[in-house]
Amino acid sequence: MNEVNVSMKINGKTVTGSVESRVLLAHFIREQGGLTGTHVGCDSSSCGVCTVLLDGYTPVKSCTMYAVMADGHEITTVESLAVGGKLHPMQQAFWDQHGLQCGYCTPGMMLSSIALLKQNPNPTEHEIREGLSGNLCRCTGYNNIVKAVQQAAQVMNQPELAAAADD
Amino acid sequence: MFPASFEYVRAHSSDEAFAHLQQHGSDARVLAGGQSLIPAMRYRLARPAVLVDINPIKEFSYLREENGFLVIGATTRDAQLEFAPFIKDRYSLITAVSAVVADPIVRHMGTVVGSICHNDPAGDWTATALAMRAVMVVRGPNGTRQVPIDQFLVDSYTTAVNEGEMALEVRIPIPDAHTQGSYQKIERKVGDYATCAAAVQLAMNADGTIRQAGIAITASGPIAMRVAAAESMLVGQRPTLELLKAAAAEAPKIASPNADQRGSSEYKKDMTRVLVGRGLKQALERLGVTA
């Protein structure tokens, strides 16, 4: 058995485990981290549902990375988005714009969208579609996902909008 | 599917990685971005006994211009090229290709050097390296050596990197102000293998003749291939539509694409002609030259 000790911060919390070197990051997050919001879809690096953020805002497909490669790194998953029961502006936007139906692609879709807005805070519709082209959705037809990212971009650029919505 | 079991070793320096590779020989593979290798391992198409992870080697991640070359390190990600402003300003072929390699998420992990070393028959970076006349730097037991890309790409998934060696960087001649390129790719969907693609770069003389032409096609045979006959037809000539057409017609002569769900062999062959033609036209447009 090629076991390795792996330790990483997932959503700010240290998760350690002795796992086989062939264990993929997605499975480490789900099984060692107990965080099942990171889904596994195509299992072949195509669909993007397993997307998580590495060391800040770098989106990576956690099914195409060995857990041991993330040793000593920081991972952000969908579970970290809502704080104290309050949805992240991206989650709120997906809710408001009906950016999901079955919801299976949604964690990866939202994390990719957050990474996209970090790189480009005011994307055009075309840039959103291009930026999310590594994430597949088989329900929505993408239009409402694009609208959700547009709403989130607006809110995240003007936090007072989010505050006003709470009143 | 899970990959076969393997021993994982982490390298923190070039020397350490090299020592591991020397020790394990043909059992070992270099793990860079892993975006081709890991899926291949998951399908059990690759079963290396040892993976030498070079990602922790900080000095392998660079993208800089020196001595007339753009130099790309062994762990430099595709996305670093895609988002570097100086690339966008002056490297039209690299700008075009870096937006269509795999998908945006894969480009955050995938590396240029790794992709060239993988030498997939449908590789985008291999075709680009041919069109730009890149040189690979390989570390071997007798020190480092430079290998022109034409000699580096040996056969499908096979390069001039021998057992126990590793590629350190790719060096691409910096295009001057009279050089432009184009990347033309047909794919069924983002992230799929190309149905066919062509990389083109043209450099002009002050008198309006073509100084240098780089033309390569990919997903059209066992490896990306230089269309040498088209290049020599163009060099020294003034571009005319007839000349471009004749040059593009050279591409299908060397293409040997496999028929698959993306199209018949005849269709793909003809697409090499179409895409080389489009690439030449777009490169000339970018140069402000009317054919």
What is the DSSP track for chain A? --EEEEEEEETTEEEEEEEETT-BHHHIIIIIS--TTS---SSSSSS-TTEEEETTTEEEEGGGSBGGGGTT-EEE-GGGTSBTTBPPHHHHHHHHTT--SS-SSHHHHHHHHHHHHHH-SS--HHHHHHHTTTS--SSS-SHHHHHHHHHHHHHHH-HHHHHHHH-
- Mutate which: A6, A7, A22, A43, vs B, most B CBs within 10 A: A22
Tell me the domains of chain A and their CATH numbers.
3-78 (3.10.20.30), 89-162 (1.10.150.120)
Q: Please check the confidence at residue A164 and state whether its pLDDT lies above 80.
A: no
Provide the pLDDT for residue A163.
65
- Mutate which: B7, B9, B38, B105, vs A, most A CBs within 10 A: B105
Which segments of chain B have a pLDDT < 50? none
Q: Please check the confidence at residue A3 and state whether its pLDDT lies above 60.
A: yes
User: Closest to A43 (Cβ–Cβ): which among B1, B102, B106?
Assistant: B1
Summary mean pLDDT of chain B? 97
In 3D space, the residue among A95, A93, A82, A101 whose CA is nearest the CA of residue A37 turns out to be A82
What is the mean predicted confidence (pLDDT) over A9-32?
98
Asked if B104's CB is within 8 angstroms of A130's CB, the reply is yes
Tell me the domains of chain B and their CATH numbers.
7-53 (3.30.43.10), 60-173 (3.30.465.10), 179-287 (3.30.390.50)
Q: Strands across the sheet with A51-54, in order?
A: A13-20, A3-10, A74-76, A51-54, A58-61
User: Closest to A2 (Cβ–Cβ): which among B6, B31, B34?
Assistant: B6
Provide the pLDDT for residue A44.
83
Residue percentage of chain A with pLDDT more than 70: 95
Residues of B in contact with A131 (CB under 8 A): 104
Q: Please check the confidence at residue A160 and state whether its pLDDT lies above 80.
A: no
Q: Please check the confidence at residue A165 and state whether its pLDDT lies above 70.
A: no
In 3D space, the residue among A58, A67, A36 whose CA is nearest the CA of residue A134 turns out to be A58
Q: Please check the confidence at residue A161 and state whether its pLDDT lies above 80.
A: no
Provide the pLDDT for residue B104.
97
Provide the pLDDT for residue B56.
97
- Please report, in angstroms and rounded to a whole number, the separation of the first and last CA atoms in chain A: 57
Whether B38 has its CB under 8 Å from any CB of chain A: the answer is yes
Q: Are residues A11 and A83 in contact, defined by beta-carbon separation less than 8 angstroms?
A: no
Q: How far is CA B3 from CA A63, A65, B37, in A?
A: 11, 12, 10
Please tell me the distance in Å from A155's CA to the nearest CA on chain B.
Answer: 24
Give residue-wise pLDDT tens across range B49-103.
Answer: 999 999 999 999 999 999 999 999 999 999 999 999 999 999 999 999 999 999 9
Provide the pLDDT for residue B1.
75
Q: Please check the confidence at residue A29 and state whether its pLDDT lies above 60.
A: yes
Provide the pLDDT for residue A162.
64
Please tell me the distance in Å from B240's CA to the nearest CA on chain A.
Answer: 34
- In chain A, which residues touch B (CB < 8 A)? 1-2, 4, 20-22, 24, 43-46, 48, 51, 54, 58-61, 64-66, 68-69, 112, 116, 119, 130-135
Please tell me the distance in Å from A97's CA to the nearest CA on chain B.
Answer: 24
Provide the pLDDT for residue B213.
98
Provide the pLDDT for residue B10.
97
Tell me the C-alpha distance between B28 and B21, whole Å.
6
Summary mean pLDDT of chain A? 95
Q: Tokens in use for B114?
A: 């790794």
